[in-house]
A and B are shown apart, each in its own frame.
Chain A
Amino acid sequence: MKGKAPTFVGMALSMVLVFALFTSALSADVARMTKDELKALIEKGQVTVVDVRSGRDWKSSEYIIHTAVREDPSQVASWANKYAKDKALVLYCA
């Protein structure tokens, strides 16, 4: 029983950490839209889609959104003023 204690503590802590992080990743307080909503807005020309994926997020993906412009998420100040202020900016990050 003595040898089992660290195993259970480790197991419990790891599981808690994995699921806590999973939950926090899903419940981030950011407005979201479906792909159909986005498609309709793109067709109306009402939005600018900015693809801010980088690192593994960019490398692993097979797709890019039509008309999306790619920008560096760590350099927001350098590109934020490039886009018209009367249009909504949709950031695609993952």
Chain B
Amino acid sequence: MTRLFSISVAMGLLLSPEALTVAGNATGRAGHGFVGFVLLAGLAHLLVSRTYERAFTLYPGPSGEARFIRKAFGAIAAVVSAVCARVTMAVCASTALLATAGYVFNEVFLYWFPNLGFSFCLLGFLLLLNLLGKNAAAIGQLFFVGLAAGGLLLLSLVGFLEWGNPPPAIPQAPTPLAHMPEAGLACLLLFVGFDLAGFSGKTEHHSARAMMAAILLAGLVFCCWGSVSLRFVPAGKLAHTSIPYVKVARTMLGQWGRIWMGLIILSGASAAVNALLMAVSRMMTAMAADGLLPPFLAKGRGHATIAFFMLAAAVAAMMGLGMAGEPILETYMKAGTWFWLLHYAVIQGALLATMARLGPGAGIQKEAGDWVLSISGLAAMVSAAIAMILLEKDWSLLGPVIVLLAMGLFLAAFWIFFSSKKGWLTQS
């Protein structure tokens, strides 16, 4: 149960409607090369998950990741790296995903029910699930992920076996090579968020295994769904629509396809928001216990900590202020993803620093292969972060990145100074 729960937390963000849009667009850009890109991207993220395994060997527990980075690069780096990525995504991505769920519910299931109303109801439901206790939240997460992953695999099978409408005749056009860098980058972004499993259980060592299992499972889902998408919708359409998943499902099964996909989207959005709120609040709680964040965040019982309520309240406030309709939200989501890639690079860098520091037999291997794999993982994540900035045509990503970085550095430096003066900062 604990292992399955960890896998479901790791897969939460990977099966979100946002990930399905990115996957659909990448499929359209890369054509059948999409499968190759997914395999390469999965491999790069497996290297990072391997680093988590090493980190948890040295520093077990939910604060293991922060301690690992702190030992290598200092407390400020540990706070900025994790908070800029995960807290930004927990607030911005949850707002966006709940808004998407609201639209899908309104357009597919109940047209008279206000979409924003449904978004609030879903947030309230997830809040309640977590207040009922760890088991309720875990069962909910397993159910959401099972429905999303199972639904996509089953729908892929329906498409492959042509149980619904036959695939339309789509003229085969050569895939433009100019789109390949964007497609490759998109595939790397598909797996961002697997590390949330590190905050899902008591035994973090098997959390690393859960991360690997989640990457493999999600990779399988993406490959199947991408291949079947190309059979039913022209690549050009897939590349440019914001709802590729609906277009494929509708072509495949008509109205039933829309309903099926509607259920997948609702469960995918619930899985992603639940995973983000649960895991990120647990990360904040663990960091607060170490003095890296204000101690009041750790107050509460089980999942129901102040950190959890603060994240949920921030999401509710964002929706209430109409931020879901603001294009800036999308840019901040991209900035959060950018920081997450950078966070993976920091983790890889921390492993390299640790390997250089520790002598043989200190609980971490120092073989030549380890260096090569760690440097490869670091290079992949840094390249992806640079490509993300360069491929953004109007440089619009730089603004939020600079704002978040400046705020993060200032607040982290202030807090670490204050915390060490008060004696709250634990020894790393």
Taking Cβ atoms with an 8 Å cutoff, the residues of A that contact B are: 3-4, 6-7, 10-11, 13-15, 17-22, 24-26, 35, 53-63, 73, 93-94
Given A6-B306, A56-B324, A94-B325: A18 in contact with B316 (beta carbons within 8 A)? yes
Q: Is the CB of B304 within 8 A of A56?
A: no
Q: Which residues of B contact A11 (CB under 8 A)?
A: 127, 131, 304, 309
B246 within 8 A of A: yes
Q: Is the CB of A22 within 8 A of B327?
A: no
Would you give the shortest CB distance from A58 to chain B, in whole angstroms? 8
Given A6-B299, A6-B300: A59 in contact with B242 (beta carbons within 8 A)? yes
- Chain B interface residue count, CB cutoff 8 Å, equals 49
8 nearest A-B pairs in the assembled complex, by CB-CB distance: A21-B320, A10-B309, A22-B120, A60-B103, A59-B242, A57-B325, A6-B299, A60-B100
CA distance A24 to B325 in the complex (A): 16
Q: Which residues of B contact A94 (CB under 8 A)?
A: 114-116, 325
B30 within 8 A of A: no
CA distance A73 to B328 in the complex (A): 13
Q: Which residues of A contact B99 (CB under 8 A)?
A: 56-57, 60
B117 within 8 A of A: yes
B185 within 8 A of A: no
Q: Is the CB of A13 within 8 A of B325?
A: no
20 sample A-B contacts, Cβ–Cβ < 8 Å, listed by A number: A3-B299, A3-B300, A7-B305, A10-B300, A10-B308, A10-B310, A11-B127, A11-B309, A13-B309, A17-B313, A22-B116, A25-B117, A53-B325, A55-B328, A60-B99, A60-B242, A62-B103, A62-B243, A73-B325, A94-B116
B124 within 8 A of A: yes
B35 within 8 A of A: no
CA distance A91 to B306 in the complex (A): 40
Q: Is the CB of A4 within 8 A of B301?
A: yes
Q: Is the CB of A14 within 8 A of B320?
A: no
B312 within 8 A of A: yes
Q: Is the CB of A25 within 8 A of B114?
A: yes
Q: Which residues of B contact A53 (CB under 8 A)?
A: 325
Q: Is the CB of A17 within 8 A of B325?
A: no
Q: Which residues of B contact A21 (CB under 8 A)?
A: 120, 316-317, 319-320
CA distance A58 to B243 in the complex (A): 10
Q: Which residues of B contact A18 (CB under 8 A)?
A: 120, 123-124, 127, 312-313, 316
CA distance A7 to B296 in the complex (A): 12
Known: A21-B316, A55-B330. 5 other contacts (CB 8 A): A3-B300, A11-B304, A14-B316, A22-B116, A61-B103
Q: Is the CB of B120 within 8 A of A19?
A: yes
Q: Is the CB of A54 within 8 A of B327?
A: yes
Given A6-B299, A14-B312: A55 in contact with B329 (beta carbons within 8 A)? yes
CA distance A73 to B326 in the complex (A): 10
B107 within 8 A of A: yes
Q: Is the CB of B325 within 8 A of A26?
A: no
Given A18-B316, A55-B330: A93 in contact with B325 (beta carbons within 8 A)? yes
B96 within 8 A of A: yes
Other-chain contact of B100, A10, A20, A56, A93 (Cβ < 8 Å)? A56
Task: Tell me the chain B residues, 320-349 only, with Cβ under 8 Å from chain A.
Answer: 320, 324-330
